[in-house]
Amino acid sequence: MVIDDKFALLSNGELNVTGRLVDASNATLYAKVRHEDQSMLCIYKPIAGERPLWDFPDGALAYREYAAYLLSSTLGFNIVPITILRDGPYGFGMVQEWIDIDESVDLASFFSSNNPALRSMALFDAIINNTDRKIGHLLPTTTGDLFGCDHGVTFHSEDKLRTVLWQWSGDPLTKSEIELLQRARHLISSELDLSPYLSVTELLALSSRIDTLMSKGAMPVPNPDWPPVPWPAF
């Protein structure tokens, strides 16, 4: 089925929960959204189902998921699937397009490859300070695209980057990557308002991270005071 407008369908369609992803620590519900003759699968994460985290005491994980989508979409990373905030059967929360992955891709070897899409994701994670980029959060598709999921623990004001994508650690940034960072810095200071979703401290840290990446001119290296790889890695 060709969907005319996925964003509109996710926003306005009737949301019906059909299951739950039991491995998730917070309420992560498998759902279908339907409007007239069109429907699509999605993930629904109600804020009411979030488990409080000691290092993310402010705001909501759903807001960070949405902020990550806005940055991904605006900057052209296109890593985060279409994501909205809306009400649902279990209250207000995040709703995100379901991505069918290419089952022929061996994620256990794919994650450590030199794939350009993975490098782009590594840079994106450095910008948003992703503290939970697991192998299982990589979503390669049969069309050759690469998406990522679970961006709730992001944008922390302290350096908490934790990822499985360290193969470019310390490598010089390319000209196009530096230009992207310059565009990101301009957008968040003038056009893209993330203040409804992130605290003032988190927004200041976001700008500072981008400035640091540009000044060093290199991909990030692991923080010696923080575990560099999430556990479990998958």
Query: pLDDT tens digits for the chain (234 residues)?
Result: 556 689 999 999 999 998 887 676 678 899 999 988 899 999 999 999 888 777 777 778 999 999 999 999 999 999 999 999 999 999 999 999 999 999 999 999 999 999 999 999 999 999 999 999 999 999 999 999 999 999 999 999 999 999 999 999 999 999 999 999 999 999 998 889 999 999 999 999 999 999 999 999 999 999 998 899 999 999
Q: In terms of Cα–Cα distance, which of 36, 135, 141, 152 is closest to 78?
A: 141
> Could you read off the pLDDT of 161-184 as tens digits, one per residue?
999 999 999 999 999 999 999 999
Contacts of 164 (CB under 8 A, 6+ apart): 111, 112, 133, 134, 135, 229, 230, 233
Task: Return the pLDDT at 172.
Answer: 98
- The CATH code of the domain that includes 35 is 1.10.510
Distance CA 59, CA 161 (A): 19
Whether residue 233 lies inside any domain: the answer is no
Residue numbers of the domain that contains 191: 6-216
Task: Return the pLDDT at 3.
Answer: 66
Tell me the three state secondary structure of residue 71: helix
Task: Return the pLDDT at 37.
Answer: 86
Q: Which contiguous run of DSSP H or E holds residue 136?
A: none
Q: 0.75 cut: is pTM over it?
A: yes
Tally of structural domains, the chain: 1
Task: Return the pLDDT at 56.
Answer: 77
Contacts of 214 (CB under 8 A, 6+ apart): 173, 178, 181, 182, 185
Whether residue 223 lies inside any domain: the answer is no
Whether residue 229 lies inside any domain: the answer is no
Q: In terms of Cα–Cα distance, which of 185, 159, 167, 71 is closest to 119?
A: 167
Whether residue 1 lies inside any domain: the answer is no
Whether residue 10 lies inside any domain: the answer is yes
Distance CA 90, CA 84 (A): 15
Token reading at 117: 């899409």
Whether residue 157 lies inside any domain: the answer is yes
Whether residue 113 lies inside any domain: the answer is yes
Distance CA 29, CA 11 (A): 16
Q: Which contiguous run of DSSP H or E holds residue 228?
A: none
Instruction: For residue 95, count CB atoms less than 10 angstroms from its CB and return exposed for 0-12, middle for 13-18, buried for 19 or more.
Output: buried
